[in-house]
Amino acid sequence: MKKVLLIAVSSMLASGCSMLLSSVATGLSDNLSVAFLNQDDPELVRAGAPSFLLLLDSFVEGSPNDPDILSAAATLYATYGAVFAEDEVRAARLTSRARRYAQTAMCESYRSACGWPDATYDEFAATLSGVGRKHAEVLYTYGFASLAYLQAHSSDWNSLAELPQIEALFNHYLNISGDEVNSNVYTFMGILLTLRPPALGGQPERAREFFEKAIAATDGNDLGVKVEFARGYARLLYDRELHDRLLHEVTAANPYHDGFVLSNVMAQEEAAVLLAEADDYF
């Protein structure tokens, strides 16, 4: 699941910074979020983000049972671990912390979720049905942190066995979120449905519908969606024409759309790599 969470950078950094500083200075929070999202130098964000991770840890130390603070910590640790940590051991460590924070936030918000780490699929699904709309945001964070964790632990087949639970989680999130749905979930679902070939339970055509929903929801401004569409769907079905068309659209696009600059610059870098590898893959 290499870099499958690239498309989450924008909304994750925004919500994380907002939750972190909302009680301190709303204006500073908003400005910081915009500064991150519209930064066109990913290395600057990579170098600067660890200071905020440590600050988040201090907030958690002071309020260890606050779902908002725990969710903010989970969000930024998951983003940094999945997208910016290139060392596998470090990525695993960072996303493990993200998962712990997200699990605690979920447990504090909905007591039946406290047993999720050790639950079977049936047990998980039974308690998931009780999660209501007021818990949608923390549920989303738990799902995102779990995906980051599974990405970093993809060599562990026991971790990958959790994928059906995450798919069920995002399906439930879509059912309860209403008009406030986070469009990243459409891309997450597309990714989840293409991790396996059709013979092993993958659903590529349903995945394509989700990828196309994600493109429409962002008016095509989130270039990372097309990267994941090409990587997940087009490569799975060996559709070279679609693969190259999507990636050429990404590399030729203007990345400077408000709120997407950082993720778009990274998507263009990733698209160039995938195009360079295409002859060897197809």
210-252 pLDDT, tens digit per residue, is: 999 999 999 999 999 999 999 999 999 999 999 999 999 999 9
Same-domain check for residues 125 and 73: yes
154: left (phi over 0), alpha (psi -120 to 50) or beta: alpha
Q: Which domain holds residue 262?
A: 183-282
201: left (phi over 0), alpha (psi -120 to 50) or beta: left
Residue 146 tokens, joined: 């779990």
Same-domain check for residues 221 and 165: no
Residue 134's pLDDT is 92
Same-domain check for residues 188 and 174: no
Angle of the 67-79 helix axis to the 88-109 helix axis, nearest 10: 160
Largest separation between any pair of C-alpha atoms in the chain: 53
Same-domain check for residues 86 and 205: no
Residue 30's pLDDT is 46
Residue 270's pLDDT is 94
Same-domain check for residues 156 and 190: no
Same-domain check for residues 173 and 280: no
pLDDT in tens, 36-72: 778 899 898 888 888 888 888 988 998 899 998 898 8
Residue 18 tokens, joined: 């907002």
CATH number at residue 114: 1.25.40.920
Same-domain check for residues 207 and 159: no
- The domain boundary, picked from 158, 179, 200, lies at 179
Residues of the chain with pLDDT under 70: 1-34
